[in-house]
Structure 1
Amino acid sequence: MSHLHRAIAFTATLLAAGLLQAGQVRVAVAANMAIPMQRIAVEFERATGHELIPALGSTGRFYSQLRGGAPFEVLLAADDEIPARLEREGLAVPGSRFTYAVGRLVLWSLDPHGVDPQGNVLKQLPRGRLAIADPRLSPYGAAAIKTLGGLGVLAAWQPAFLQGESVSQAFQFVASGNASYGFLALSQVMRDGRIPRGSGWIVPSQYHPPLNQDVVLLNGGRSSAAALAFLDYLKSEPARATLRGFGYEVVKH
């Protein structure tokens, strides 16, 4: 058992025994996790007594902020590259990183008839704007570009792009009617295993690299009981069940 795993286990034991006071954990949260995190934060606080304080944004933007000294204790990323980079650069605790979820990309429209289940709308001439997240900052934006390229329709759709910094902003473009379609995280439109409004095409995973989403303990959380408890909670079945309900795939740790 690694030093980190022993520390997590010891912290969980103390919490169960009521020997540690509840604390707070400041978490930088990838935009695609905005809605699931609302539920996870409540469940985490109920299970541990700790308070989770989330900040939402693009993973690429968080990376820049962390290099500038932003006071987060945990990064819940939208990819596996940036958490690994933070480890290599000495900004995160070695050995603390793991994949908490595998995301899915969806083409979504607020119009119930806007997107067919096979995504054939992409093979037609664009009618309306297509919202995507900035592919330089968002793995979901990069996956959208890969998908359009794989379908051979990137050049046709590029003039219709309405680009947001994050996948959260891309969702707002579609939800507000400023874009007819959007490449989004499935978690933004799925609830309890289904898409309750609008219409969507869940993009087959072969069209883009896996959207492995890693969490990592940042140096500021090294001695934080709340941060260690949160990492432990993400591996629990209640957290995994919540993530599955929002369309994520989860791996056993």
Structure 2
Amino acid sequence: MTLRASRFAPAALAGLLAACTLGAAQADEVQVAVASNFTAPIQAIATDFEKDTGHKLVAAYGATGQFYAQIKNGAPFEVFLSADDTTPQKLETEGDTVKGSRFTYAIGTLALWSAKEGYVDSEGKALSDNQYQHLSIANPKAAPYGLAATQVLAQLGLTDQVKAKIVEGQNITQAYQFVSTGNAELGFVALSQIYKDGKVTGGSAWVVPADMHDPIKQDAVILNKGKDSPAARALVEYLKGPKAAAIIKSYGYQL
């Protein structure tokens, strides 16, 4: 019995090593360009994604328009999580994406926010009261949330009134930072930056009604550099699953 066991031990060991090697080969790393508004959700999703799949997510954060330029210039991103649907669609039309991989992973919500408690009421009257010196928004040419902010101002008839007060961030993260550091009393930010599990986490805010601006449909797509990447495909599928959906909703997005 002992001799028989010793004869089969090398084969069993070889099988075990092969399984370990296969598992290591299947684990991969995916380079992801992530719109700034989605920073907190993707960080939370990454933890579960890596635990459940073994793949590692490496993210870069920035404005959608800037990512478009970087992708066109050969940046090594394999998956793009945009803050709009038009930029991924444009990349798709231009042949820079894997056909059929584009989908809407979240619908964003715009909020008017102040770091001061009680400064902004539930109807956003602080905006028209005009008692502030600076209003922060993201660059409307590069960031969809910035474009939405300009549409809200236009609908309220405040474009000319607040023009001299606007401080413009390169992306929605910088727009948020202007307010959080006190450099602007008010700012249009992504709700996801100030919201968790059903409530605003600090300061005061007006959640802007969705009909005051174009829908902020956020699309994801696999880029050509990720066409042969198991991790890229796995991430896209994971974003469509229940665990990711629960996290996305918890930050105030719609699906």
- Following superposition of structure 1 onto structure 2, how do residues 31-46 of structure 1 map, counting pairs within 5 Å? 31-46=36-51
- Following superposition of structure 1 onto structure 2, how do residues 174-253 of structure 1 map, counting pairs within 5 Å? 174-250=179-255
Q: How far did 1:20 drift?
A: 5.4
Residue by residue over 1:219-252, the C-alpha shift from the partner in whole angstroms, topping out at 9 and shown as x without a partner, is: 00001000000000000011000000000001xx
Secondary structure of the structure 2 residue equivalent to 1:114: coil
Q: How far did 1:126 drift?
A: 3.9
Taking only the aligned residue pairs, the percentage that are identical comes to 47
- Following superposition of structure 1 onto structure 2, how do residues 114-153 of structure 1 map, counting pairs within 5 Å? 114-153=119-158
Residue by residue over 1:14-41, the C-alpha shift from the partner in whole angstroms, topping out at 9 and shown as x without a partner, is: xxx9595211000000000111111011
Q: Which moved more, 1:149-158 or 1:99-108?
A: 149-158
| 1:19–1:70 distance in 2 versus 1, CA, 3 Å | closer
Partners of 1:158 and 1:114 in 2: how far apart?
A: 21
Q: Which moved more, 1:123-132 or 1:138-147?
A: 123-132
Which of 42, 62, 65 aligns to 2:67? It is 62
Report the TM-score, using the length of structure 1 for normalisation: 0.90
The one-letter code sitting in structure 2 at the alignment partner of 1:125 is N
Q: How far did 1:95 drift?
A: 1.1
Q: Is the 8 A contact 1:126 1:156 kept in 2?
A: no
Partners of 2:86 and 2:131 in 1: how far apart?
A: 33
Secondary structure of the structure 2 residue equivalent to 1:93: coil
Corresponding position of 1:24 = 29
Q: How far did 1:192 drift?
A: 1.2
Structure having the higher Rg = 2
Corresponding position of 2:81 = 76
Secondary structure of the structure 1 residue equivalent to 2:167: strand
Partners of 2:90 and 2:169 in 1: how far apart?
A: 24
Partners of 1:218 and 1:233 in 2: how far apart?
A: 17
Unaligned runs of 5+ residues in structure 1 are 1-16
Residue by residue over 1:109-132, the C-alpha shift from the partner in whole angstroms, topping out at 9 and shown as x without a partner, is: 000111111011111124121110
Corresponding position of 1:10 = none
Q: Is the 8 A contact 1:109 1:180 kept in 2?
A: yes
The one-letter code sitting in structure 1 at the alignment partner of 2:252 is G
Corresponding position of 1:108 = 113
Q: Is the 8 A contact 2:150 2:159 kept in 1?
A: yes
Partners of 1:43 and 1:155 in 2: how far apart?
A: 46
Residue by residue over 1:162-216, the C-alpha shift from the partner in whole angstroms, topping out at 9 and shown as x without a partner, is: 1011000001111111110110000000011210210000000010010000000
Q: Which moved more, 1:122-131 or 1:142-151?
A: 122-131
Corresponding position of 2:162 = 157
The one-letter code sitting in structure 2 at the alignment partner of 1:52 is L
Q: Is the 8 A contact 1:135 1:141 kept in 2?
A: yes
Which of 157, 171, 179 aligns to 2:176? It is 171
Which of 91, 95, 98 aligns to 1:86? It is 91
Unaligned runs of 5+ residues in structure 2 are 1-21
